[in-house]
Amino acid sequence: MDIVILLVVLVGSLGLSVIFGRYIARMIVYEKRPLEKTLGRIENGFYKIIGIDRYEQMTWKQYFLAIVVTNVIAAGFLMAVLLYQNNLPLSPRPGLSLDLAFNTAASFVTNTNLQHYAGEQQLSIFSQMVGLIFMMFVAPASGIAAAFAFIRGFIRKEFGLGNFYVDFTRIIITLLLPISFFSALLLLFLGAPQTLDSTITIGTLQGGSQTIPIGPVAALESIKELGSNGGGFFAANSSHPFENPTGISNVFECILMLVIPLSFPIAYGYLLGKGRGISILAAMLIGFGVMLALGLSEQSGPTGLETRFGSFGSTLFLESSVATNTGAANAALTGMSPNAVIGFFLGMFVQAIPGADGTGMMMMIIFVVLTLFLVGLMVGKTPEFMSMKINPRDVKLAAFVFLIHPALILIPSVMAYTTENAQNVLGEHTTPATFTQVLYEYSSASANNGSDYLGTSANTPFWNWSTAWIMLLGRYAPIGLMLAVAGSFTLRDRKEVVEPIKTSGFLFVGVLSVMVFILTALTFFPFLAMGPFSM
């Protein structure tokens, strides 16, 4: 039965990714889509309202600035909602503290959804529906738009990277909204509630009554999984029966998490050659396979596991979640085996197997650039990528993208211990298990993943402020650098040259996969040895 479930998840997500990959490719190059006239009228209405010239092209600096400005405005709106939710309608609750509100706004705008609060206890229906669900569209749409611009850098010359506001609008209206709407209907059918009531009172077997928190769960859950978000309506996240009612919903949510990240290499293949797209998809699936093999090599639980899903269902869901930087959890991390936790770290360190919506594909191309540079050094050839030379500036930018991540994990981890904030939460004596929890917290924040061990116990000023800034830096610094790489390629001459290694085929898949794991191991292995390897 477990093999059948695994095949359904893989075949289902890959099958849908072929459909959505073609659609995404059309969006990247502005080809006609199904129902183009109808969609165009709707989009043009939004362009007029917000004053967008749909034909205006942006440089990488303008595109990046547009992402940051849009996200800052959205985060400011969410922060205001959280601070003053006691004055807002729909089951008002006391406003959050400044540090927790800032952490939550930073978390959701960066597509991280790290939660230092208990949703059903501390947030109103208005905050969940108007604040969080709204941000769950803004954040992935921003990442997907950045990936659109990044890919255009390799297929255009001196024509700009597109228009962020046009991409952002089209992504929300014609990609995220329709899929999440029908996904919410399916989850509603499977048992997820959808209501503006904040509680429901039911009778118990003993003849009494019990009041249960409730709300627009199906709507949140669908975009949560589709958009690589991961933040749950309830503190228990996807282990709560309202968020993940049955084994069927567990499988469906795994597919939702995987479908858009796996669609990007398909889209890339349509635009830049099927061989290249299939090769990157294969490298992603190899990495995901390693994660799954680690997780399934050892039995997890039973402590901390949801009994409806068991070890296999919990591991499959969590590996899919962490691999796509979604961060949703249908079981407690404390109940997972050390091998499964090592798999989680692998996914967060690489961020591209397959990674989050849009940004995972961008990170994999950065690995491609680094691989071509290193192979070029070994064979004594100038590194080339798609008939364009890779210059020293490109390599430096790619190296910075790779090195920012470990710096954002290790520096705050050290600070947490030197300031004794780690000891205050986890106890005076440091063990491999407690070190793993601290390392995981900042790995999750830097990777914009969102899964964590600490939960509400991290609701202190130090943890709220530190993880918030790590999430912001971990999101926008790499995106800015990667757009700079794309911008430089738009100015590059395109000549038919021999690449140091052809960027398609079995050899390239093998070399790319080996390089990714070597770079990751050299950077992070000592810290894994101190943590999960010693548990």
CA terminus-to-terminus distance, the chain: 30
- pLDDT computed for residue 40 by the predictor: 85
- Report residue 397 as tokens: 């930018």
Longest dimension (CA), the chain: 80
- Report residue 500 as tokens: 């140091």
Dihedral pair phi/psi, residue 212, rounded to 5°: -120, 130
- The amino acid at 306: E
| Dihedral, CA of residue 144, residue 150, residue 155 and residue 160, to nearest 10 | 100
- Report residue 360 as tokens: 């995972």
Contact 71, 49 (CB under 8 A): no
**Exposure b/e, 11-41, CB count within 10 A at least 16 = b:** ebbbebbeebbbbbbbbbeeeebeeeeeebe
Contact 225, 257 (CB under 8 A): yes
The DSSP secondary-structure symbol of 216 reads S
Q: Report the alpha-carbon distance of residue 515 to residue 478 in Å, rounded.
A: 20
Which residue's structure tokens are 């918030």? 468
Sign (positive/negative) of CA torsion 285, 227, 194, 238?
positive
The DSSP secondary-structure symbol of 131 reads I
- pLDDT computed for residue 499 by the predictor: 66
Q: Prior bond to 89 cis, omega within 30?
A: no
Q: What is the pTM of this model?
A: 0.95
Q: Report the alpha-carbon distance of residue 28 to residue 48 in Å, rounded.
A: 21
Q: Report the alpha-carbon distance of residue 478 to residue 482 in Å, rounded.
A: 6
- Report the Cα 504 to chain-centroid distance in Å: 26
**CA angle, corner 39, sides to 33 and 40, nearest 5?**
95
Q: Prior bond to 302 cis, omega within 30?
A: yes
pLDDT in tens, the chain (535 residues): 889 999 999 999 999 999 999 999 999 998 888 888 888 888 888 888 888 888 899 999 999 999 999 999 999 999 999 999 999 998 889 999 999 999 999 999 999 999 999 999 999 999 999 999 999 999 999 999 999 999 999 887 777 899 999 999 999 999 999 999 999 999 999 999 999 988 888 887 777 888 889 999 999 999 999 999 999 999 999 999 999 999 999 999 999 999 999 999 999 999 998 999 999 999 999 999 999 999 999 888 788 887 888 899 999 999 999 999 999 999 999 999 999 999 999 999 999 999 999 999 999 999 999 999 998 888 777 788 877 888 899 999 999 999 999 999 999 999 999 999 999 999 888 889 899 999 999 999 999 999 999 999 999 999 999 999 999 999 999 999 999 999 998 887 777 666 677 888 999 999 999 999 999 988 888 888 887 777 6
- pLDDT computed for residue 427 by the predictor: 87
Q: Residue 317: exposed, middle, or buried by beta-carbon count in 10 A (0-12, 13-18, 19+)? A: buried
CA distances 189 to 184, 185, 201, 377, 440, Å, are 9, 6, 21, 56, 35
Q: Where are the alpha helices (DSSP H) in 273-329?
A: 274-296, 310-323
Q: Report the alpha-carbon distance of residue 62 to residue 161 in Å, rounded.
A: 9
- The amino acid at 521: A
